[in-house]
């Protein structure tokens, strides 16, 4: 490709709204252009890179017996109603009516569609196992798109689906994806870690997220550097310090004026925060049948901990949670700043699992300016649910080895889910087992956002001058700069352009009538891994100048040797990528 013919053009400066490095560089290098919030056009440079990413994905999916299909972007609402997700998912789902006034959905994922296919195609255990996948457009109306391609509303996702007759088959396919995903990310030059995650709207029994660790990430991860435990904070567990055992003492009301925080209470009474009970008031939106109802949730954790809203939402099976308003708090018999579960009514009381073994906690008296000493679960109040609802924090004990946990930020670049029979039961996707019994197909779901992967590669591989693409997904192997339009320079550059292409090497020729400075700056900005410069100075020094984008130094190579030298460099860069593709122990294997 000649740059005089290229549709992609570079920008000297990025728009002011582009805050992250990847967003700025992809805009400036002519890879993407924004149409609206969270909606982007992919230009030729980016399209070439995305095609290479997709080809890597296809190779790894095919290697674990995947079969590529294509499923529709527009779905009838009925299939989403069958699984109840029509009622459970909020405004991020794109809903509309067709001309026949029929409710329709813009695909945000494809579990319902693939399950509909399964119930039509799979009849017998002899047809299992199967794995199908596609690369398709998705729409999620995210209220806060940000960071260019990292958080968008319209995007391309690879989603694959495994179908098995038994749980052992699901385990095998899940582990195959677990490794295949590491292969994909490593082949794209992107370091990733797998962390346990919340199943969220997908449902199922197990999930892992693949995270690119970066300060711009919106996910908070808890990681143990000693045993490699890693989990999204949404589900992260930790070793909770246990209270000393003691006999229950009589409950006693004490005056605590102007003491509305745990810290102020602990200071006033000269006790550690772990001797207090923290009240958190939330209102949950819970689906009951086809109706969405609100329930008041009274959550209780020990005062030295915080409530994890994801764990709380999962505990009560809520679609959404919001903070309760003051009038709602008072309506159940509680008082803001002085609340406790003692004596409240018309609410769901959810208690963290450390509370039963934490006797004689100080809690609110549900009276302004007063607290209760020595409150105890089951004696003074009852819980509707006792479960882990506490949020892990930096320095908490690892649940496996007790070493301190560290906190990192990350961007989710892929996810895998054990769906089990959640969708096949709901939609009647069943098969005849070898014993003649009708059983639900056991399913898994696995996704990778292609554009987000590109953005994270750009975030990882850059310097002050621009992008530095890995050879495996660079839009071209070589950026050939022609620093002159006539004479020997032009002749050598044009011959090299043709020779490189004939050798199967992808080359972008900068044949524009621009100054050398502009060409060098654009070459650094675009980030093609190998640069070959043909100019008067280079030819006088013995031949075109060959330089790796990531390095400062260059060498002059005889014109007759340039193609071979470039091929050698490409081979070295490809070997570096290949060396990163290694077997990664599955989490359960690492534990054992």
Q: 100-109, 183-192, 279-288, 294-303: which range is least confident on average? A: 279-288
Spatial distance between the Cα atoms of 38 and 28, rounded to a whole number of angstroms: 18
The residues with which 125 forms a beta bridge, in sequence order, are none
Residues 383, 180 contacting (CB under 8 angstroms): no
> Smallest Cα–Cα separation from 331: which of 349, 351, 347, 350?
347
Q: Is residue 240 in some structural domain?
A: no
Q: What is the mean pLDDT of residues 112-120?
A: 98
Same domain, 352 and 375: yes
- Give the range of the structural domain holding residue 550, as residue numbers without chain letter: 471-578
Average pLDDT over residues 200-211: 73
Q: Does residue 217 fall inside a structural domain?
A: no
| pLDDT surpassing 90 at residue 201 | no
pLDDT > 90 fraction of the chain, expressed in percent and rounded: 87
pLDDT tens readout for residues 539-558: 999 999 999 999 999 999 99
Q: Are residues 47 and 150 in the same domain?
A: yes
User: Between vectors from CA 122 to CA 119 and to CA 124, what angle results, nearest 5°?
Assistant: 130
| Packed helices 562-579 and 487-502: angle between N→C axes, nearest 10 degrees | 50
Angle, in degrees to the nearest 10, between helices 450-460 and 44-63: 110
Same domain, 451 and 516: no
Q: Looking at the domain assignment, is residue 285 inside a domain?
A: yes
Q: Read off the pLDDT of each residue in 51-59 and give the average, rounded to a whole number.
A: 98
Say whether both 476 and 375 belong to one domain.
no
Domain boundary among 370, 387, 404: 387
> Which tokens belong to 550?
């990531």
Q: pLDDT tens digit string along 301-321?
A: 999 999 999 999 989 988 789
pLDDT for position 291: 76
52 with 164, same domain: the answer is yes
Predicted local distance difference test score (pLDDT) of residue 248: 94
Instruction: For residues 349 and 297, state if they share a domain.
Output: yes
Residue 302: the pLDDT is: 95
Q: Tell me, what CATH number does 63's domain have?
A: 3.30.930.10
- In a domain, residue 493? The reply is yes
CATH number at residue 313: 3.90.960.10
* CATH number for the domain harbouring residue 514: 3.40.50.800
- Tell me if 505 sits within 8 A of 571, measured CB to CB: no
Distance CA 100, CA 233 (A): 45
In eight-state DSSP terms, residue 125 is G
Query: Who contacts 52 (Cβ-Cβ below 8 Å, separation ≥6)?
Result: 472, 473, 474
DSSP reduced 3-state for 241: coil
DSSP single-letter state for residue 43: P
Q: How confident is the model at residue 589 (pLDDT cuts 50, 70, 90)?
A: very low
The confidence band for 174, taking pLDDT boundaries of 50, 70 and 90, is very high
Please indicate, yes or no, if residue 320 is contained in any of the structural domains: yes
Residue 290 has pLDDT above 80, yes or no: no
Contact (CB, 8 A) for 93 and 108:
yes
Compute the average pLDDT of residues 347-352.
Answer: 96
Residue 338 is predicted with a pLDDT of: 95
> How confident is the model over 396-430, as pLDDT tens digits?
999 999 999 999 999 999 999 999 999 999 999 99
pLDDT at 592: 28
Please give the average per-residue pLDDT across 210-225, as a whole number. 92
Confidence grade of residue 485 (pLDDT, cut at 50, 70, 90)? confident
Q: Report, as an integer, the average pLDDT of 566-588.
A: 93
Query: Tokens representing 376?
Result: 């105890």
Q: Report whether pLDDT(211) > 60.
A: yes
pLDDT of residue 202: 53
Q: Is the pLDDT of residue 203 over 70?
A: no
Whole-number pLDDT of residue 199 = 66
Domain shared by 321 and 286, yes or no: yes
Residues 498 and 434 in one domain: no
Same domain, yes or no, for 437 and 476?
no
Phi then psi for residue 449, to 5 deg, are -85, 115
d(CA 547, CA 566): 10
* 235 part of a folded domain: no
Mean pLDDT of 3-18: 90
- Partnered with residue 279 across adjacent β-strands are 300
Asked if residue 181 lies in contact with residue 416, where contact means CB atoms within 8 angstroms, the answer is yes
Whether the model clears a pTM of 0.85, i.e. scores above it, the answer is: yes
475 and 455 assigned to the same domain = no
Number of domains the chain is built from: 3
Sheet strand arrangement including 361-367: 252-255, 370-375, 361-367
* 193 in the same domain as 140: yes
> Quick check: is 397 in a domain?
no
- What does the alpha-carbon distance between residue 568 and residue 562 come to, in Å, rounded to a whole number? 10
What value does the mean pLDDT take over residues 362-381? Answer: 96
Determine contact, residues 448/133, Cβ cutoff 8 Å: no
Can you name the residues that pair with 377 across neighbouring β-strands? 381
Considering the domain architecture, whether residues 175 and 318 belong to the same structural domain is answered as: no
Q: What is the mean pLDDT of residues 215-230?
A: 90
Average per-residue pLDDT in the chain? 94
**Residue 484 placed within a domain:** yes
Given this model, what pLDDT does residue 15 score? 83
Report residue 376: phi and psi, to 5°.
-140, 135
pLDDT of residue 288: 76
Find the mean pLDDT for residues 32-49: 96
Q: Check pLDDT > 80 for residue 590.
A: no
- Stretch 74-102: mean pLDDT, rounded? 94
Question: Going by C-beta distance under 8 Å and a sequence separation of 6 or more, which residues neighbour residue 87?
Answer: 81, 287, 290, 291, 292
What percent of the chain has a predicted confidence (pLDDT) above 70?
98
């Amino acid at each position: 490709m000649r740059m005089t013919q290229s549709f992609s053009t570079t920008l000297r400066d990025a728009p002011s709204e582009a805050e992250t490095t990847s967003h700025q560089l992809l805009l400036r290098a002519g890879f993407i252009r924004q149409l609206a919030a969270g909606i982007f056009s992919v230009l030729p440079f980016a399209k070439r890179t995305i095609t290479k990413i997709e080809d890597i994905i296809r190779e790894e999916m095919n290697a674990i017996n995947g079969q590529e299909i294509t499923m529709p972007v527009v779905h009838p609402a009925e299939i989403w109603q069958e699984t109840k997700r029509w009622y459970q998912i909020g405004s991020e789902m794109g809903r509309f009516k067709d001309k026949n006034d029929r409710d329709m959905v813009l695909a945000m994922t494809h579990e319902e569609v693939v399950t509909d296919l399964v119930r039509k195609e799979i009849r017998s255990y002899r047809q299992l196992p199967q794995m199908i996948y596609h690369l398709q457009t998705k729409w999620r109306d995210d209220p806060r798109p940000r960071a260019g391609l990292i958080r968008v509303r319209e995007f391309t996702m690879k989603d694959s689906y495994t179908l098995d007759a038994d749980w052992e088959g699901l385990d095998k396919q899940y582990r195959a994806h677990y490794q295949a995903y590491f292969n994909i990310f490593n082949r794209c030059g992107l370091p990733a870690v797998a962390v346990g995650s919340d199943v969220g709207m997908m449902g199922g029994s197990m999930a892992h997220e693949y995270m690119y660790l970066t300060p711009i990430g919106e996910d908070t991860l808890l990681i143990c550097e000693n045993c490699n435990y890693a989990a999204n904070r949404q589900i992260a567990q930790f070793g909770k310090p246990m209270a000393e055992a003691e006999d229950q003492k009589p409950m006693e009301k004490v005056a605590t004026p102007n003491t509305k925080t745990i810290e102020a209470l602990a200071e006033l009474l000269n006790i550690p925060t772990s001797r207090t009970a923290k009240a958190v008031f939330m209102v949950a939106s819970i689906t009951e049948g086809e109706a969405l109802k609100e329930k008041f949730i009274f959550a209780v954790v020990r005062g030295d901990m915080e409530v994890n809203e994801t764990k709380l939402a999962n505990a009560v099976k809520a679609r959404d949670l919001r903070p309760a308003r003051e009038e709602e708090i008072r309506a159940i018999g509680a008082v803001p700043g002085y609340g406790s579960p003692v004596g409240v009514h018309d609410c769901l009381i959810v208690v963290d699992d450390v509370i039963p073994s934490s006797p004689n906690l100080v809690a609110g008296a549900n009276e302004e300016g007063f607290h209760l000493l020595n409150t105890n679960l089951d004696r003074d109040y009852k819980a509707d649910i006792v479960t882990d609802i506490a949020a892990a924090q930096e320095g908490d004990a690892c649940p496996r080895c007790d070493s301190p946990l560290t906190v990192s930020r990350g961007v989710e670049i892929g996810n895998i889910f054990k769906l089990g029979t959640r969708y096949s039961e709901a939609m009647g996707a069943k098969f005849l087992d070898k014993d003649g019994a009708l059983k639900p197909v056991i399913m898994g779901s696995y996704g990778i956002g292609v554009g987000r992967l590109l953005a994270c590669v750009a975030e990882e591989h850059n310097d002050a001058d621009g992008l530095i693409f890995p050879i495996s997904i660079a839009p071209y192997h070589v950026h050939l700069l022609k620093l002159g339009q006539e004479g020997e320079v032009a002749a050598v550059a044009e011959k090299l352009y043709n020779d490189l292409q004939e050798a199967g090497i992808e080359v972008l020729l900068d044949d524009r009538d621009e100054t050398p400075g502009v060409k060098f700056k654009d070459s650094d900005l675009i980030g093609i891994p190998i640069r070959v410069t043909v100019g008067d100075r280079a030819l006088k020094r013995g031949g075109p100048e060959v330089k790796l984008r990531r390095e400062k130094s260059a060498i002059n190579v005889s014109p007759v040797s340039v193609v071979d030298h470039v091929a050698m460099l490409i081979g070295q860069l490809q070997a570096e990528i290949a060396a990163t593709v290694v077997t990664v122990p599955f989490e359960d294997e690492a534990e054992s």
